[in-house]
Structure 1
Amino acid sequence: MAMELYSNPEFPRQVWQPRTIVEAWQLKQQFAEQAVFVSGGTLLRTQWESGALLPPQHLISLESLPELHGIQSDQQETRIGSAVTLAACLRDLRTPALLKNACLNIAAPSIRNMGTLGGNIMSTVGDSLPALLATDARLVWFNGQNMITQTTAEWLQQRRAALLTKEPRLLLQIIVPRIAATDGFVDSFYEKLGRREAFCPSVVTIAGELHTDTENNIRSIRLAAGSAASMAMRLTDAEALLEGQQLSLRLIEYTHPLIKQQFNGGADAFASNEYRRQAAANMIAAALWSRISSQNR
């Protein structure tokens, strides 16, 4: 069974180290709201120190669970354990390029050495999420009995529908599929707008992945945007307009207001929702325009 690591007056909380995902699940059911899963713990520690959350009495460490570690890749997909650190994602050649770009824009190197991809996802506002939405990544969960797989978009939709509901399941893996482009081109983009040059919460983060043929017709496209003040989302209205069309400046002009209308960037003390909507539309339009410009050189 799981092993209790600490219990003394100097550290009044108990840290458990389960050896299997079943043990981890059983501990969470036993202690319920008095316990949290933890791996890198960078975001949780920040929330505890700031007073945004009260530290729980029990920490369930995920460090010893093999299912949550490692990166595997084949011709169809890449599987990344939820406890893989952001720094490990950056170092590994198997990490998809769009996700690697996202990891590079998350926090400082010292935080990336500890923070995990799963932790960034579970925050629901992590900068990895637009990249995962743009690549149609799937999340693998354990609910105590079965493994459940759903797209990142489906999960975020569920969280938005019940914003106060905490995720009861344990995130095991992230699966990023590959586009099998037999002809044409597969391209992607990712950009983060922060309040300062680096290592800061996102004002707006955008990502996209598109498959075009040799005539610059869009075979498929996924666009996503998010911010530190709102959960990331797929921009399906803009996708529907673009798919099947030849990428052009006029088409991008029609797309801009759709992005601004659909995206909800949230608001905080640093930026309004209107500003975030405008910024997301501008950034995606510029990214699409650059694809036209580069092909005409």
Structure 2
Amino acid sequence: MSKKGWIILLIVVLIIVGGAFYFLTANHIEGLVYDSKTGKVLSGAIVTINKLTKLETDEEGKFRAFAPPMKKVITVEKPGYKTFEEAFPSKFGLQVIEISLEPFTFSELVEDFKERVSTLKSYNAKYFIESEVDGKKDTFSIQLSYSLGKGIHFVSEEEGENTSFTEVYILKDYVYLRDGKDKEFKKVEKEESENIPILKLSDVVDFFTMKAEPSSFSFLKETTFGDEKCVVFKIQWEDAFSESSGFVYLGEESGIIRKISVVDKGFNEEGKTVTTKVSFVVEDINKPVEISPPS
């Protein structure tokens, strides 16, 4: 091949390579995902493009992907937020978009929680409430352990002006129960135990929805609770008699409410200040939980 031919071939190759490089680098989509209420960026959101490309937003709430110049259907999912889906028009070159996710209301999160816990194989849960008036404290607690195929272990205890204690094992064929720490367990057949007062996990979380819808419920930050990354929401109630504020921890992988902590300050009928601390924790999700008859 002549020198002129080599030059022409080189030019053609450069044009092809350059065109390919431009096509691969210019046809990209960049996006930012943020909370529609607070404007805070959301990391860890799962972005799916045309049901094929799946990626995750970084710590700054951003994502970037190669995207041919064609219509793109983008879906964004993150625990605690409503799923986003929208079709974006075809565009050559770099396409920059912003996506806002709408958080669930607190009552929507609770309803979703009830559906999810019904599918769990095991867990340990704790509910604790402490009320203080004039330095006097009353406490009430519930511990609930569940293991699919093994049974339920339930303990409720009240201390203060009133005292009570109930412990129940619900196993395959029998139920063991006692109404005092120093009392012996009574063994009854399961068919005879229908009227034993046992709170399910979905019932416990209902304690937090006895008030009206929170006056404020918004994304705060991301953190880790136990062995799971969580989205943290700040929650507040305000009415004529009290003010409550606290935090809700939602597991990013499980979608389960892992923790709720709330402090309520108000007045009783005598006009005295009442401070109430409430906490709810779910641990050991789908992990081995030992439940066996009491010795």
Instruction: With the length of structure 1 as denominator, give the TM-score of the two structures.
Output: 0.20
Structure richer in helix, relative to its length: 1
Select the structure of larger CA radius of gyration.
2
Considering Cα pairs closer than 8 Å and 6+ residues apart, tell me whether 1 or 2 has the greater RCO.
2
Structure richer in strand, relative to its length: 2
